[in-house]
Amino acid sequence: MTALVLDGKLCAKDTETRLQAQVAELKERTGCTPILATILVGADPASATYVKMKGNACRRVGMDSMAIELPDTTTTEELLKTIQDLNDNQDVHGILLQHPVPEQIDERLCFDAIAAHKDVDGVTCLGFGRMAMQEPAYGAATPAGIMRLLEAYDIDLEGKHAVVVGRSPILGKPMSMMMLNANATVTICHSRTKNLAELIKQADVVVGAVGKPEFIKAEWIKDGAVVVDAGYHPGGVGDIELAPLTERASAYTPVPGGVGPMTINTLILQTLESGLKQLG
């Protein structure tokens, strides 16, 4: 059995074609362009690269981005003021605060200062709560991208046992809630879970979101499972030992080219959705 490759790069490209048309129509109708504001605090090279990629993705579909760069010495109060200014700016339709921020900043306080209708990265407590309760909200970009990718390949979660390995507030926890809302039976695990291998062996769907390279071993995963690897580490490996699974799984996300492109694509999609709502 050769596993189906869940090609996030291809899915994101197809979505961008559709978004280009929607942005063009919106511009013609309103004369306005959706804008994503990105806030980068400090000079972390990886964060700077991610922010640049998000700006490029905006421009590919005809949207604009506003890049705000703040120094390492920025205080919580200064960052909160920046966020409030963007909340009040009617030309800005989405706000992204790049994680992580310097340690002197209260990151959670700053995330939660983002207005709910501009929280296109799905990072606020309010957004998480509304999503979990199946109320209108923008989902955290990575798990929402995973859900879109599974839907694109007609992978039905209803009645399936999904094991999510990871509990971060922007990946593992919202992933679990989204799958639960899709009628999966969800087990949430993490790096300290006892008998982790035995739990993973029960899974119809495995999501690796633990943040450790190849932490989840191929031998723990049963034949025919759907394997979603949300990790990315130096050397081009994810959180799951994928190589032995390409002939055993029913479907899997490659690393790179699986979950990553869908994360940025979902951020852009949700920024456009926000723009459409705000611009009527």
Per-residue H/E/C for 147-169: HHHHHHCCCCCCCCEEEEECCCC
What are the catalytic residues?
A: 54, 98, 121
Distance CA 98, CA 120 (A): 12
Binding site: what residues are annotated? 166-168
Binding site for NADP(+): what residues are annotated? 166-168
Architecture of domain 32-123: 3-Layer(aba) Sandwich (3.40)
For CATH 3.40.50.10860, list the domain ranges present in the chain.
Answer: 32-123
Show pLDDT as tens, one digit a residue, over the chain (280 residues). Answer: 799 999 999 999 999 999 999 999 999 999 999 999 999 999 889 899 999 999 999 999 999 999 999 999 999 999 999 999 999 999 999 999 999 999 999 999 999 999 999 999 999 999 999 999 999 999 999 999 999 999 999 999 999 999 999 999 999 999 999 999 999 999 999 999 999 999 999 999 999 999 999 999 999 999 999 999 999 999 999 999 999 999 999 999 999 999 999 999 999 999 999 999 998 7
- Of 80, 7, 5, 17, whose CA–CA distance to 268 is shortest? 17
For CATH 3.40.50.720, list the domain ranges present in the chain.
Answer: 141-255
CATH ID of 141-255, from 3.40.50.720, 3.40.50.300, 1.20.58.1610, 3.40.50.980: 3.40.50.720
